[in-house]
């Protein structure tokens, strides 16, 4: 059974996504949670405390993603990372569409978020480097082209889902996957295209389940 503290956080997360953190009042959270403001204050003394509690759950989830051991072997390495970030967005959509407000008013939260983003970017670069070495990627067409590719994938990670959600458009993994592979595919070598067709396009490979702490 969900505890009162958990219910408060879940209600707050939904309101943060729908209205933005700055526009949500404690009274709204209390009303949606079905409790009085006084009862809410027993658990969280102010909205700031609720914001931090909500983001602590996000950072715990992020830690699970980064601590997952990637066994670099096939192009499905990309899908393992893609799915992990997709499920982060599904679990905590508010953390994506409140990015700008957090960067202005919650610098310590922003710092943790940027740390996660940087580590995820490095992980993406490592996957690209491995598959370049393996021969699945073409030689870089120009200096640092694959660093730019990793950054482009990062942007899709962070902005596609809130864009779809806020426009009431479908948010399915297959759609996100198409966008991400659309960036990668032009860089694949003939060997990489064969592996893509065998493991990803024909969907004969079952993506390993991410184990999140």
Half-sphere exposure of 182 (CA within 13 A, CB side): 7
Q: What's the full length of the chain, in residues?
A: 213
Instruction: In whole angstroms, give the CA distance from residue 33 to residue 27.
Output: 10
- pLDDT-derived band at 207 (thresholds 50, 70, 90) equals very low
Sort residue 156 into left (φ over 0), alpha (ψ -120 to 50) or beta: alpha
- At residue 99, the pLDDT reads 86
CB 4 within 8 A of CB 35: yes
- Rounded to whole angstroms, the Cα distance separating 136 from 127 reads 11
**84 neighbors 68 (Cβ within 8 angstroms):** yes
Residue 202 pLDDT grade (very low, low, confident, very high; cuts 50, 70, 90): low
Residue 204 is predicted with a pLDDT of 40
**Spatial separation of the C-alpha atoms in residues 1 and 9, rounded to whole Å:** 15
Q: Which residues of 137-157 are buried (b: 16+ CB within 10 A; e: fewer)?
A: bbeeeeeeebeebbeebbebb
pLDDT digits (tens, 9 = 90+) for 8-52: 999 999 999 999 999 999 999 999 999 999 999 999 999 999 999
Q: Looking at residues 129-156, what average pLDDT do you find?
A: 95
Confidence of residue 69 (pLDDT cuts 50, 70, 90): low
Structure token pair of residue 136: 């699945």
Q: With bands split at pLDDT 50, 70 and 90, how would you rate the model's confidence at 161?
A: confident
pLDDT of residue 165: 82
Structural domains in the chain, CATH included, are 1-45 (1.10.10.60), 55-201 (1.10.357.10)
Question: How is residue 59 annotated by DSSP?
Answer: H
DSSP 34: T
Report the distance separating Cα 75 and Cα 195, nearest Å.
7
Average pLDDT over residues 154-165: 87
- Rounded to 5 degrees, φ, ψ at 137 are -110, 150
Mean pLDDT of the chain: 88
pTM of the model: 0.84
Grade residue 53 by pLDDT with cuts at 50, 70 and 90. Answer: very high
Residue 208 pLDDT greater than 90, yes or no: no
């Amino acid at each position: 059974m969900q505890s009162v503290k958990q219910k408060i956080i879940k209600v707050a997360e939904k309101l943060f996504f729908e209205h933005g953190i700055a526009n949500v009042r404690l009274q709204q959270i209390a009303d949606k949670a079905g409790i009085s403001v006084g009862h809410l204050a027993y658990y969280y003394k102010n909205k700031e405390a609720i914001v931090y509690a909500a983001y602590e759950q996000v950072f715990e989830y992020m830690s699970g993603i980064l601590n997952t051991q990637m066994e670099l072997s096939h192009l499905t390495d990309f899908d393992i990372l893609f799915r992990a970030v997709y499920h982060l967005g599904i679990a905590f959509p508010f953390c994506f569409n409140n990015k700008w407000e957090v960067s202005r008013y919650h610098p310590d939260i922003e710092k943790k978020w940027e740390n996660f983003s940087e580590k995820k970017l490095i992980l993406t670069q490592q996957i690209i480097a491995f598959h370049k070495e393996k021969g699945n990627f073409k030689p870089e067409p120009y200096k640092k082209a694959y660093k730019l590719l990793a950054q482009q994938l990062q942007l899709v990670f962070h902005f596609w889902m809130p864009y779809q959600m806020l426009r009431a458009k479908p948010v399915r993994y297959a759609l996100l996957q198409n966008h991400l592979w659309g960036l990668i595919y032009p860089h694949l070598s003939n060997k990489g295209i064969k592996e893509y067709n065998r493991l990803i396009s024909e969907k004969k490979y079952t993506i390993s389940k991410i184990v999140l702490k």
